[in-house]
Chain A
Amino acid sequence: MQRLSIDPITRLEGHGKIEIFLNEDGNVANTYFQIPELRGFERFCVGRPVEEMPLLTNRICGVCPEAHHMAAAKAADAVYHVDPPRPAKLLRELLYSGFYFTDHTTHFYALGGPDFVMGPDAPVAERNILGVIHKVGLEIGGKVIQARKYGHTIVEYIGGRKVHPCTSIPGGLTKGITEEQRQEIEKMGHWAIEFAQFTLNLFNEIVLGNKAYVDLILGDIYTHRTYSIGLVDENNKVNFYDGNVSVVSPDGERIGKYAPSEYTDWIAEHVEPWTYLKFPYLKKVGWKGFVDGKDSGVYFATPLSRLNAADGMATPRAQEEYEKFYSVLGGKPVHQRLAIHWARLIELLYAAERIVELATDPEITSDNFHKIPTETPTEGVGIVEAPRGTLTHHYKTDERGVVTMANLIVGTTNNYAPISMSINKAATSLIKGGTVVTEPMLNMVEMAFRAYDPCFGCATHSLPGQMPLEVTIRDADGNLVEVLKQYC
């Protein structure tokens, strides 16, 4: 058996590792996607007051601290049985929309976009943000920085800090915003709408205008018929901050919606011997292995699944793009995983429109942003949509509000099974007996999971000692045939 190893994966947070085992005919026998487990978070949380959790959990990750801050705050609300006043919910959602706008922008221009803007065949050294601005123009680079600045400013005005917001507490927030800040945010929101539309146009020109890319998106290599999940509001429209989780079958039928407190009725976790990380699946459907279809409990949680799980977008321009999306891709639900990139941009526009909607709500500057909890704390679950998937925080406390149990299902964990399946399918489709494995081919395998925007990072700021891409090929007896290295 031959062994191909991509370790660790380029542009992926943390240190994931893909191993591809080939059989004696040179075809793919099996693939394994391994992620190092971060240990001891529950133990770390136990014994701390639950109101600390929004501050503590946003340190888990440098990529989406705002998502952890919000999920923890909502779980802490639930622990104290307190429903924050409407202005508090509006402010939290406004902060969150600013965060989404920054995060989705950065992903498209720096992480996922290069595959399309530069092309999957481009040398690895060019598939990054420098390659993108070289191709699309320096002016666009300036807009990316401006977009990030605006998103950070909104987070800072409401969350108290540009990084790691600190104002959400059980029952609401510690502060509101001034009329002056509101006006500024509204202005930024209008700019954000234009920028999101500009980005969608760019995607239209570069990706949808290129038949090879459209064929790649629609092709079988990157298609999986699994369940879709995503948070929806009372009208079943996509919502990032609040609502219930909608679950839609591969045929597009909504099999139900669950409230945060019901998540254990819906989600269970499967264990495999080759990895420490568990594979969440739909309990009501059951684990049938790494397979597609209505009988398999595998689901995915991404921008695309959110669109699939909803009946539409709650803002007008995003709704237009939503309709176009399904019209071009042949109706709902869409299963082609590379379409996640397009879905992300529709969400970018929604986030921008939502910034304006929230900033112009008459209650947004109200000083009624906190309700003092009066009940004895017990147990609570908070769910938000992180950019990379549904994020669930679950805490139990004693009667003083001190945490006795903490459980988190993070965005990427939801997608562990489908990512593994996508890698396997791409590798099986691209690597056949007798073919020479090239860098563009391995990048096409990587594209299978990059669409999910997986993130396993926490220790990522530490400097790696060596370069991340190494492909090892071994023959059936385990002898080294060839080693391909980049930046080693």
Chain B
Amino acid sequence: MVSKVMKTILLGLGNPILRDDGVGWQVVQAIEEHFGKNLPPEIEIDCFPLGGISLMERLIGYDRAILVDAIQTKQSPPGTISRLTLDDLPSIHANAIHDAALKDALEFGRKLGAELPQEIVIYAIEAVDLWEFDEKLSPQLETSVMPAARAVLAEIDNWRNS
């Protein structure tokens, strides 16, 4: 019996010209550049600048999703990589663009019958500066890009082997 191919999306979130907010983009770009050829075809890689309802709409049609984004808890050293699920985020207001929080937006989409990922994992990297226009990351985050990329790849391997 052939098992169903799980369609997976890997999204780098954030604003690529706002210093550390661009870390999600840089991680997925690094994955594409260094490991893209070896990734299975059911995995789509993209960068996305929006949250909320727009992000929910982007996730339609996939079984699984990995999001890579900046986070600012001010409780971990800069560059710390955390693996989170939606339950780790506050239920409202979090990740809001000008509409709804991601968790609410997903619930909204599901109520409307949208096919949304059953499994969403978020790799978050502790940021230093999210308020200065620059395409470069803070030095403390630059060294986190490849480790975060490898963590994401390990997650994908894990999924494929499970």
Question: Per-residue 0/1 for B72-103: is the Cβ within 8 Å of any A Cβ (1 yes, 0 no)?
Answer: 11110000000010000111111111111100
- A462: which of B21, B74, B84, B134 is its contact (CB, 8 Å)? B21
- CB-defined contacts of B51 to chain A, threshold 8 Å: 62, 460-461
Q: A130-B104, A461-B13, A461-B15 are in contact. Are A40 and B133 (CB under 8 A)?
A: yes
Q: Judge whether A129 and B104 touch: CB under 8 Å.
A: yes
Q: Judge whether A465 and B72 touch: CB under 8 Å.
A: yes
Considering only residues 423-470 of chain A, those with a C-beta below 8 Å from chain B are 453, 455, 457-469
Q: Judge whether A464 and B95 touch: CB under 8 Å.
A: yes
Question: Per-residue 0/1 for B8-33: is the Cβ within 8 Å of any A Cβ (1 yes, 0 no)?
Answer: 00000111111011001000000000
Q: Tell me whether B159 is interfacial, beta carbon within 8 Å.
A: no
Q: Judge whether B57 and A148 touch: CB under 8 Å.
A: yes
Q: How far, in angstroms, from A10 to B98 measured CA to CA in the complex?
A: 11
Pick out which of these stretches binds chain B: A106-114, A332-340, A345-353. A106-114
Q: Judge whether A461 and B133 touch: CB under 8 Å.
A: no
Q: Judge whether B70 and A462 touch: CB under 8 Å.
A: yes
Pick out which of these stretches binds chain B: A138-146, A203-211, A319-327. A138-146
**What's the nearest-Cβ distance from chain B to residue A408, in Å?**
11
Q: Judge whether A459 and B93 touch: CB under 8 Å.
A: no
Most chain B CB within a 10 A radius of its CB, from A63, A130, A133: A130
Q: How far, in angstroms, from A37 to B73 measured CA to CA in the complex?
A: 19
Q: How far, in angstroms, from A461 to B108 measured CA to CA in the complex?
A: 19
- CB-defined contacts of B133 to chain A, threshold 8 Å: 38-41, 43-44
Most chain B CB within a 10 A radius of its CB, from A62, A141, A461: A461
Q: How far, in angstroms, from A106 to B68 measured CA to CA in the complex?
A: 25
Q: Tell me whether B2 is interfacial, beta carbon within 8 Å.
A: no
Q: Judge whether A461 and B14 touch: CB under 8 Å.
A: yes
Question: Per-residue 0/1 for A11-55: is the Cβ within 8 Å of any B Cβ (1 yes, 0 no)?
Answer: 101000000000000000000000011111101100000000000
- CB-defined contacts of B101 to chain A, threshold 8 Å: 128
Q: How far, in angstroms, from A460 to B52 measured CA to CA in the complex?
A: 10
Chain A residue, CB-CB nearest to B52:
A110
Q: Tell me whether B36 is interfacial, beta carbon within 8 Å.
A: no
Q: Tell me whether A329 is interfacial, beta carbon within 8 Å.
A: no
Chain A residue, CB-CB nearest to B107:
A130
Q: Tell me whether B120 is interfacial, beta carbon within 8 Å.
A: no
- CB-defined contacts of A62 to chain B, threshold 8 Å: 15, 49-51, 54, 97
Q: Judge whether B93 and A461 touch: CB under 8 Å.
A: no
- A163: which of B54, B91, B99 is its contact (CB, 8 Å)? B54
Q: Judge whether A487 and B91 touch: CB under 8 Å.
A: yes
Most chain B CB within a 10 A radius of its CB, from A10, A59, A459: A459
**What's the nearest-Cβ distance from chain A to residue B24, in Å?**
8
Q: A38-B133, A457-B97 are in contact. Are A59 and B53 (CB under 8 A)?
A: no
Q: How far, in angstroms, from A331 to B127 measured CA to CA in the complex?
A: 51
Q: A39-B132, A145-B112, A463-B71 are in contact. Are A110 and B53 (CB under 8 A)?
A: yes
Q: A59-B16, A163-B54, A463-B122 are in contact. Are A11 and B134 (CB under 8 A)?
A: no
Q: How far, in angstroms, from A107 to B98 measured CA to CA in the complex?
A: 7
Q: Judge whether B98 and A163 touch: CB under 8 Å.
A: no
- CB-defined contacts of B50 to chain A, threshold 8 Å: 62, 163, 461
- CB-defined contacts of B74 to chain A, threshold 8 Å: 465
Q: How far, in angstroms, from A44 to B134 measured CA to CA in the complex?
A: 7
Q: Judge whether B89 and A63 touch: CB under 8 Å.
A: no
Q: Tell me whether A125 is interfacial, beta carbon within 8 Å.
A: yes
Q: Tell me whether B124 is interfacial, beta carbon within 8 Å.
A: yes
- A463: which of B70, B91, B108, B131 is its contact (CB, 8 Å)? B70
Q: A164-B49, A464-B72 are in contact. Are A459 and B98 (CB under 8 A)?
A: no
Chain B residue, CB-CB nearest to A124:
B92
**What's the nearest-Cβ distance from chain A to residue B115, in Å?**
13
Q: Tell me whether B111 is interfacial, beta carbon within 8 Å.
A: yes
Q: Tell me whether A268 is interfacial, beta carbon within 8 Å.
A: no
Q: Tell me whether A122 is interfacial, beta carbon within 8 Å.
A: no
Question: Per-residue 0/1 for A115-147: is the Cβ within 8 Å of any B Cβ (1 yes, 0 no)?
Answer: 000000000110011100100001001100100
Chain A residue, CB-CB nearest to B55:
A461
Q: How far, in angstroms, from A124 to B91 measured CA to CA in the complex?
A: 11
Q: Tell me whether B45 is interfacial, beta carbon within 8 Å.
A: no
Q: Tell me whether A267 is interfacial, beta carbon within 8 Å.
A: no
**What's the nearest-Cβ distance from chain A to residue B97, in Å?**
6
Q: How far, in angstroms, from A107 to B15 measured CA to CA in the complex?
A: 22
- A37: which of B95, B100, B131 is its contact (CB, 8 Å)? B131
**What's the nearest-Cβ distance from chain B to residue A145, in Å?**
6
- CB-defined contacts of A462 to chain B, threshold 8 Å: 14, 20-21, 69-72, 127, 130
- CB-defined contacts of B122 to chain A, threshold 8 Å: 463
Where the two chains meet, the residues of A that have a C-beta atom closer than 8 Å to any C-beta of B are: 10-11, 13, 36-41, 43-44, 56, 59-60, 62-63, 65, 103, 106-107, 110-111, 124-125, 128-130, 133, 138, 141-142, 145, 148-149, 163-164, 453, 455, 457-469, 487
23 contacts between A and B (CB under 8 A): A13-B97, A13-B98, A38-B18, A39-B132, A59-B16, A62-B49, A106-B98, A129-B53, A130-B111, A138-B111, A141-B108, A145-B114, A458-B15, A461-B51, A462-B21, A462-B71, A462-B127, A463-B72, A463-B84, A463-B95, A464-B72, A465-B73, A467-B93
The 4 nearest A-B residue pairs measured at CB: A465-B73, A459-B130, A462-B70, A110-B99
Apart from A142-B112, A464-B71, what are 5 other A-B pairs with CB-CB below 8 Å? A40-B134, A106-B98, A129-B104, A163-B50, A462-B72
